[in-house]
Amino acid sequence: MPNLNPDQGDPDSVNVRSKDYLIARSVRPCTHCGVGTPLVALVLPPSHEILSLAEDDGSGPLADSWDETHGSAFLFHIGYLPDRVQQRVQASSKTYRLAVSPAAQGSRWANHCEHCGSLQEDHDLFCEPEGAFLPVDAASASAIELTRIDEPFAAAAAGYAREPEYLEHMIRS
Ligand SMILES: [Zn+2]
């Protein structure tokens, strides 16, 4: 499993990177007011890289290393995004922005309802069955629209959902 540190929000904390990426879009009822609101998510195609933190085995400090992966992944609980990626995502959704997260003791990039402004928790979108980005069948997966961005990507992300079911063929194509 990737070693993901959730408590960093600066460029030095980048723990995933890729030569390209995808922006996923969907629409779901707001968890607060119930009105449908657009949601976005970041997706990494196969061959992205994960930072593997060096472990001190007593023989002195070792260098961190980047490990190439062979599957796709959704990212969430994101603490840091480079400016270029922020601009790309916010062009898709103006309500995706940094939010203070008491639970995470820091700031996170998160979706907000375009009607009432409520924070849409990543946990609800990515971890709950039938969440906007955790489809339970091909029909719910088809509600997710993917746009490939042919530009470099980096982020500090504490949430990492490997090989999203029903979406693999869309991400690879
Ligand atoms: Zn709302």
Per-residue pLDDT of the chain (173 residues; tens, 9 = 90+): 444 544 445 788 899 999 999 999 999 999 999 999 999 999 999 999 999 887 777 776 677 899 999 899 999 999 999 999 999 999 999 999 999 877 667 889 999 999 999 999 999 999 998 899 999 999 999 999 999 999 999 999 999 999 888 888 888 86
Instruction: Name, in order, each residue with C-beta under 8 angstroms of 115's C-beta and a sequence gap of 6 or more.
Output: 30, 33, 35, 37
In the prediction, which pLDDT does 104 show?
Answer: 64
Interval between CA 117 and ligand 1 midpoint (Å): 6
pTM, full prediction: 0.88
Interval between CA 42 and ligand 1 midpoint (Å): 22
In the prediction, which pLDDT does 3 show?
Answer: 46
Interval between CA 8 and ligand 1 midpoint (Å): 28
Phi, psi of 93 (to 5 degrees): -150, 115
Interval between CA 107 and ligand 1 midpoint (Å): 20
Interval between CA 119 and ligand 1 midpoint (Å): 8
Interval between CA 114 and ligand 1 midpoint (Å): 7
Interval between CA 125 and ligand 1 midpoint (Å): 14
Interval between CA 37 and ligand 1 midpoint (Å): 7
Phi, psi of 89 (to 5 degrees): -70, -40
User: Strands (DSSP E) along the chain, which ranges?
Assistant: 16-18, 21-29, 36-44, 49-52, 65-68, 73-80, 96-101, 106-112, 119-120, 145-149, 153-162
In the prediction, which pLDDT does 116 show?
Answer: 98
Interval between CA 52 and ligand 1 midpoint (Å): 38
Interval between CA 71 and ligand 1 midpoint (Å): 34
